[in-house]
Structure 1
Amino acid sequence: MKKAYTIDQQIARLKSNGMVFDDEEKAKEILLDVGYYRLGFYSFPYEIRFPRLEQRDHKLKTGTTFKSVYDLYEFDTKLRRLLLNALDRIEVNIRTKMIYNISLRYIDDPCWFVNRKYMASKFVNDFEEQVYAAMRKNPVIQHHHANHSGIYAPAWKTIEFMTIGNIITLYDSLKEPEAKDLVANTYGCSRGVFYNYIETIRVLRNKCAHGGCIYRMDFPKGIKRLPADISADCRHNIKGGIDVVKYMLGRISQTRKRELESEIYNLFNSIQTIEARQVVVHNSKIEY
């Protein structure tokens, strides 16, 4: 098993792999801030054997600079923050559309989400243990139960505290196609496309929220091309994911969509090194 390296050893090892430094003291500061291992995620596309991970020896292409690797890290970090802000807006809107449309359709049952008439039995069977048990510790839900009868809080309280994964399962478990249409159609989508887009949002949100690399992330299931106008070669990459975010955001607010487009444009054009820009274009298909 490998042992930990001191900062000087980290610099020496990077040099031995072919990395060029213009300011070693600044590089040491960055390594102590970001971490040698994490920064390695961003040196990967500069390696000679990229993308053959099973044969990785960390040797870098001639002329690879520490600055270009750090530029890629900075781009990825800032893009992740931009997307998290947009994803939060979309997630809140999906909750609102779900609560409003379905609660009015089943207006006589505020707890329609556990009614087997409207929901798949598996969702109802699993709801207490997999969703509501943890929610019972929430002060808002506790306050509700202290002041109202009933096993569960109504949909407008309960769904507010569900995870995006719970909400996707909830949507998928609705029995009536017409109920699903009420939500999907507000986004200009068919049921199948809407499910695909919210699943894309879930994957992207989780990746962003946990600090994962997104400049070359993959969507294994593939993103539906329409109505978000996804390019054929972007159905599995971050550009396709961003296009879904922009599409969904545009259904909520065209102003916010334009703001996000401008922010990503400015971020891409803020990349200082040509090498980092080329890596972004090649791996994520983002370019302006």
Structure 2
Amino acid sequence: MGIKATTVDEQITLLESRGMVFDCDVEKIKETLLDIGYYRLGFYSYYFQDKKTHNFITNVNFNDIIKLYYFDFDMKMLLLRYIYRIEVHFRTQLLYYASNHYNDNNAWYVDSKIVDSSIFKEFNTIYFNLKTKNKNLVKHHVNYPCDYAPAWKVFEFLTFGQTFKFFSNLKNEELKKQISAVYGFRDVSLLNNYFISIINIRNICSHNGVLFDYNQPIGIRRIPNLKYRINTGNTSNLNASLRLLLYILSKVSKNRAKDLEEELKKLLATASENNLVKNIINSKIKFDM
């Protein structure tokens, strides 16, 4: 990709010069390029190219790239729906156990005796935006102008990552163990590894990264359940993350875990109807449920 903007006609000419096959209406191709964007499609056309010359391998069709793009898009939308279920559940556990443990302090999340104060500077900026723009917190501060709102009012509007940061910075280790035990973990570090991995996937899905080729920066630790345990030596690829998601979701709802597994298999089967796409996603994901 050069540093000078190009028209859709120039983009089509460039793709053709590198060996791409077009067998659909040119106006449809232009519509797609103006819809998704040449640069974004480049993230997916990369997998159909010779890595040295950047020319397309033989008989690569424009629609092959579009199918890979939409497979990845559909996978992201699917995972976001189920990750949200995990996010809401985790937020509820943190609020329930921490707020009842500190039931004389409904703003325990800004108490330096309870939470490591290193996160307060960043959080104060977040809170200022919430209390001036979020209608629920604006209403609260009309009645209580100087106080922080109760945790259950505030955390409803924090991201998964922000919520988890408060859990990680709790000073009471026994409280963290109590919350970890909800998911069957005695070891808090295991929950840390799992939920950071899930948040990483959530961020890829939310911020339009390439999902099917995503690798966790730190490997996922051994899953204590034979059904979901990672059977290969690769604890970082998407297969490992999918197995982890299914495992944690099964702790929230066995039915939802079953639903996700079925939807994943259906999505992969549909994508595999295209042989080029099938070969690419199988080599990257290796989903083996």
Worse-superposed segment, 233-242 or 172-181: 233-242
Scaled by the length of structure 1, the TM-score of the pair is 0.90
Root-mean-square deviation (CA, aligned residues, Å) is 2.0
Check if 1:142 corresponds to 2:138. Answer: yes
AA aligned opposite 1:280: I
C-alpha deviation, 1:241, in angstroms: 1.8
Scaled by the length of structure 2, the TM-score of the pair is 0.89
Identical columns (%)? 35
C-alpha deviation, 1:21, in angstroms: 2.2
Residue segments in structure 1 that go unaligned for 5+ positions in a row? 50-54
AA aligned opposite 1:132: Y
AA aligned opposite 2:90: I
**C-alpha distance in structure 2 between counterparts of 1:232 and 1:173, whole Å:** 33
Matched pairs, number:
281
- CA offsets per residue over residues 218-261 of structure 1, 9 Å max, x none? 21122222235234434212222222221221111111111111
Check if 1:211 corresponds to 2:211. Answer: no
Q: What does residue range 40-55 of structure 1 map to in structure 2 within 5 Å?
A: 40-49=42-51
AA aligned opposite 1:239: N
AA aligned opposite 2:130: M
Match of 1:268 in 2: 268
Match of 2:184 in 1: 188
AA aligned opposite 1:202: I
Q: What does residue range 97-176 of structure 1 map to in structure 2 within 5 Å?
A: 97-123=93-119, 125-126=120-121, 129-137=124-132, 138-148=134-144, 151-176=147-172
Other structure's SS at 1:270 match: helix
Worse-superposed segment, 20-29 or 212-221: 20-29
- Residue 233 to residue 13, structure 1, CA distance change in 2 (3 Å): farther
**C-alpha distance in structure 2 between counterparts of 1:145 and 1:4, whole Å:** 48
**C-alpha distance in structure 2 between counterparts of 1:140 and 1:232, whole Å:** 47
Contact 1:131/1:166 (CA < 8 Å) preserved in 2? no
C-alpha deviation, 1:89, in angstroms: 1.2
Contact 1:102/1:182 (CA < 8 Å) preserved in 2? no
Match of 2:11 in 1: 10
Match of 1:253 in 2: 253
Contact 1:234/1:285 (CA < 8 Å) preserved in 2? no
C-alpha deviation, 1:114, in angstroms: 2.1
